[in-house]
Amino acid sequence: MRVPFLAANWKMNMGRQAARELVQGLMETCAQVEGREMAICPPFHLLADIEKLVEGRPQVYLGAQDMYWQDSGAFTGEISAPMLLDVGCRVVIIGHSERRAMFGETDETCAKKVAAAVKHQLIPILCVGESLEEREQGLTEKVVTSQLHGALDGLEISDGRQLIIAYEPIWAIGTGKTDTPQAANETMQTLRQTLAQIFNEEIAQGVRLLYGGSVKPENIAGFMATSDIDGALVGGASLKPSFAQIVNY
């Protein structure tokens, strides 16, 4: 019932020409795949170009990497949900660990952003994950559960498809190290139980849970073979044509 979701997080990479070539190629190599969905989350300056390239393909979602919770006003440097909708976005990454670590993102700001996205019918991809130190202290479940409560308590949704969660152990992002599919799946089960407490069991069963952290064509199948991992949020490996192999796992 949960359609696999493979999302590309380009971070602060790519120019217009390279982006066009990459997306054109991906549309040929993977946009026709049945029974799964993909997302491309480029930097803001590429959204309008990519919107044209993915137009008419409902299984390909255009996404942003962040947004502000107000609709408009004197917020220099920010972008809003209505603006992202205007350029064709359907998803938005919220609370990526790089934003939490470098740009002051907190559970409180994530909560406001998630609520604003949902209000405007943008699907938030809320990111959670523990640091290496927390992992070594056996705090993974505690950290991710508290991040979920912090960003989602009080949120009203009626369907699990309105929300996506990405579990990204921070020590696995961009390092070439990955969690094992078994360990990641256990964390996903904890996340799903927490979602059932916050919302209800039916909604929790519909929310897609993505694994992120050094996902590559060689390791995606192992994650997708588990019971509770429904997709991936991919950084480095999404900048190459071989991202198609991840979508076509």
- The residues carrying an active-site annotation are 96, 168
Subset of residues 2 to 61 that bind ligand PGA, contact rule: CB under 6 A:
9
Instruction: Note whether 213 binds ligand PGA by CB under 6 A.
Output: yes
Which window, 56-64, 128-136, 199-207, 234-242, contacts ligand PGA (CB under 6 A)? 234-242
CB-based contacts of 34: which residues, under 8 Å, 6+ apart? Answer: none
3-state secondary structure of 35: coil
Select the residue whose beta carbon is closest to ligand PGA and give its number. Answer: 235
Binding ligand PGA (rule: CB under 6 A), the pick from 105, 168, 179, 228 is 168
Smaller CB distance to ligand PGA: residue 97 or 203? 97
With tokens 């209800």, the residue in question is 200
| Shortest distance, position 1 Cβ to ligand PGA, whole Å | 25
Smaller CB distance to ligand PGA: residue 38 or 173? 173
**Up-side HSE of residue 192: CA atoms within 13 Å toward CB?**
22
Neighbours of 103 (CB within 10 A): 10
Smaller CB distance to ligand PGA: residue 118 or 246? 246
Instruction: Note whether 212 binds ligand PGA by CB under 6 A.
Output: yes
Instruction: Note whether 214 binds ligand PGA by CB under 6 A.
Output: yes
Subset of residues 78 to 117 that bind ligand PGA, contact rule: CB under 6 A:
none
**If you write DSSP's letter for every residue of 114-177 in order, what string do you get?**
HHHHHHTT-EEEEEE---HHHHHTT-HHHHHHHHHHHHHTT---SSGGG-EEEE--GGGTTTS-
Binding ligand PGA (rule: CB under 6 A), the pick from 40, 53, 89, 173 is 173
Binding ligand PGA (rule: CB under 6 A), the pick from 52, 133, 174, 197 is 174
Q: Phi/psi of residue 127, each to 5°?
A: -100, 135
Q: State the angle between helix axes of 47-54 and 16-29 in degrees (0 to 180), rounded to the nearest 10.
A: 20
Smaller CB distance to ligand PGA: residue 70 or 248? 248
- Six token digits for residue 117: 């996205």
Q: Is-contact 129 171, C-beta < 8 A? A: no
Binding ligand PGA (rule: CB under 6 A), the pick from 234, 244, 246, 247 is 234
| Shortest distance, position 55 Cβ to ligand PGA, whole Å | 25
Binding ligand PGA (rule: CB under 6 A), the pick from 130, 165, 236, 246 is 236
Q: State the angle between helix axes of 181-198 and 140-152 in degrees (0 to 180), rounded to the nearest 10.
A: 40
- Six token digits for residue 25: 């190629």
The residues binding ligand PGA (CB under 6 A) are 9, 168, 173-174, 212-215, 233-237
